[in-house]
Structure 1
Amino acid sequence: MAAKPKLYYFRGRGRMESIRWLLAAAGVEFEEEFLEKREQYEKLEKDGHLLFGQVPLVEMDGMMLTQTRAILSYLAAKYNLYGKDLKERLRIDMYVDGTLDLLTMIAQARFKSPEEKEENFALIVKKAKTRYLQVFEKILKDHGEDFLVGNKFSWADVQLIEAILMVEELSASVLSDFPLLKAFKTRISDISTIKKFLQPGSQRKPPPDQHYVDVVRHILQF
C-alpha cells in the first residue's frame, strides 16, 4: 500500500489550501506536518527539500514536490481531474489561473494592518464580482453544463468552489446576482468527497487568525 501524501506547511490555509482541496476532492487521504518553529523550516532547507527555498512542500510518490502550481498540475493529472485532451487542459489552466489570482489576493490581505485589511477585503469582493464571478457565470450560461470543462468534474470546479466559499466569508451575499454560480455551488458541494471535506473535523483550514499570521512571519522572517 502506497504511503499517504505528506504535506509540510503552516497550520493554516495559505498556498497549501488549494492542494488540500484537490487531494480531498480526489478522495485521497493525506498527512500533515505543521511548521511551527523556524528550525523546522531551516531543516527542510538544509536537507535540500525546498527547491527555491519555499513551501508548500508535498512528499509523495517517492518525490519531494515544490511550487504550488506544479504540485496542483501533478495532482490534477494523476487523479484524472485535468480534462481529456490539450484543449480541455488549456481551459482548465485558464480558469484555475483566474481563481488562483483571486485566492492569492485574499491570502495576502490577511497580512495587512486591520485598517488596510478591511479596505482590501472590500476591494476584493468588488473585483470578485466584476472580474471573476461574472466570467464564470457567463461560462456556465454559454455551455449550459453542470461543470466548467467537458461536462466532467475537474480541477477547475474544485478551485472555483474553494474561491466562492472564501469570498462568501468576506461577503455572504456575493452570489446574489449570480444564479448559475449559486446552483453550481450547491451542486459541487454535494459531491461526496467535497461534502466530506466541508464537514466539521476535516483537514480544511479556517480563515487565518493573528496567531497564524505571527507564526508565518516568524518562520519566514518578514
Structure 2
Amino acid sequence: MCEKPILHYFNGRGRMEPIRWLLAAAGVEFEEKFVDTREQYEKLLEDGSLLFQQLPMVEMDGMKISQTKAILQYIASKYNMYGKNLKERVSLKPRSIDMYVDGAFDLMALILSHFFMPESEKGKQLELAKKRAVNRYFPVFEKALKDQDFLVGNQLSWADVVLLETILMMEEVHDDIVPIFPRLQDFKERTSEISTIKKFLQPGSQKKPMADAEYIATVREVLQF
C-alpha cells in the first residue's frame, strides 16, 4: 500500500490549499506537517527540501516536490485530471486547462494577498478583486460553461477544482458576485455535490478556514517579513 502524501506548510490556506483541494477531489488521503517555527523552516532548507527556499513542499511517491504548480500538475496527471491530451492542457482551441487555472489563480491571489496588507489597503484590494472578477475572470468561465458541465473535455479536471475553490473564496468576501453568473452558480452547486469534494467541504475536514491573525503572525515570523 502506498504511503500517504505528506504536506509541509503552515496551518492555513495559502499556496497549499489548492493542493489539499486537488488531493481531496481525487480521493487521496494525506497527512500534514505544519511549519510553525523558523527552526522547522530552516531545517527544511538545510535538508535541501525546498528548491527555491519556498513552501509548499509535498513528499509523495518517494519524491520531495516543491513549487505549487509543479505539485498540482503532478497530482493532476497521476489521477487523470489533466485532460485527454496536450491540446486540452495548453491550447486555447478547443479549451485550455492551464490557461483557466492561471486565470483562477490570478483572481485567487488578489484575495489571499489582502490578508497581509495594512488595514488601510485591505478594502481597496477586495474591491479590486471584485472588479476583476466581474469584468475579467468570471465572464470567461461563464462563457466556457455555456454548453458543457466542466471547463475542458466535459470531464472533471484540476481546472474545475481550482475554479470551485476560487468561487467559494470569492463568496467569503463578496457574496453578491456569483449570482450574477448563473452558469457559475450552477457549476458551484453541481461540483460541490461530487462525493469526494462534498466530503472535503464538510466540517472537520482538512480544508482550512480563512486566514486569521494567528496564521498571519506565524507566516511573518517563519518567513521573517
Q: Is structure 2 residue 106 aligned with structure 1 residue 120?
A: no
- What one-letter code is carried by the residue in structure 1 that aligns with 2:2? A
- What one-letter code is carried by the residue in structure 1 that aligns with 2:59? E
- What one-letter code is carried by the residue in structure 2 that aligns with 1:180? R
Q: State which drifts further: 29-38 or 123-132.
A: 123-132
Identity of aligned residues (%): 61
2:108 to 99, 103, 106: 103
What is the CA–CA distance in structure 2 between the aligned matches of 1:139 and 1:2, rounded to whole Å? 37
- What one-letter code is carried by the residue in structure 2 that aligns with 1:169? E
Which ranges in structure 1 are unaligned for 5 or more consecutive residues?
Answer: none
Q: TM-score, normalization: structure 1?
A: 0.98
Q: Is structure 2 residue 160 aligned with structure 1 residue 149?
A: no
In the TM superposition, 1:58-207 aligns within 5 A as 58-90=58-90, 91-141=96-146, 144-207=147-210
Deviation at residue 87 of structure 1 after TM alignment: 1.1
Q: State which drifts further: 184-193 or 124-133.
A: 124-133
Deviation at residue 160 of structure 1 after TM alignment: 0.2
CA deviations 1:8-54 (Å, max 9, x no partner) are 00010000000000000000000000111100000000011011101
CA deviations 1:56-92 (Å, max 9, x no partner) are 0000100000010111100000000000011111100
- What one-letter code is carried by the residue in structure 2 that aligns with 1:65? I
Deviation at residue 113 of structure 1 after TM alignment: 1.3
- What one-letter code is carried by the residue in structure 1 that aligns with 2:120? E
Deviation at residue 122 of structure 1 after TM alignment: 1.4
- What one-letter code is carried by the residue in structure 2 that aligns with 1:22? L
Indicate the SS of the match to 1:64: strand
What is the CA–CA distance in structure 2 between the aligned matches of 1:121 and 1:41, rounded to whole Å? 30
Instruction: Report the equivalent of 1:12.
Output: 12
Indicate the SS of the match to 1:58: strand
Which ranges in structure 2 are unaligned for 5 or more consecutive residues?
Answer: 91-95
Stretches (4+) displaced over 6 A? none
What is the CA–CA distance in structure 2 between the aligned matches of 1:180 and 1:191, rounded to whole Å? 17
- What one-letter code is carried by the residue in structure 2 that aligns with 1:19? I
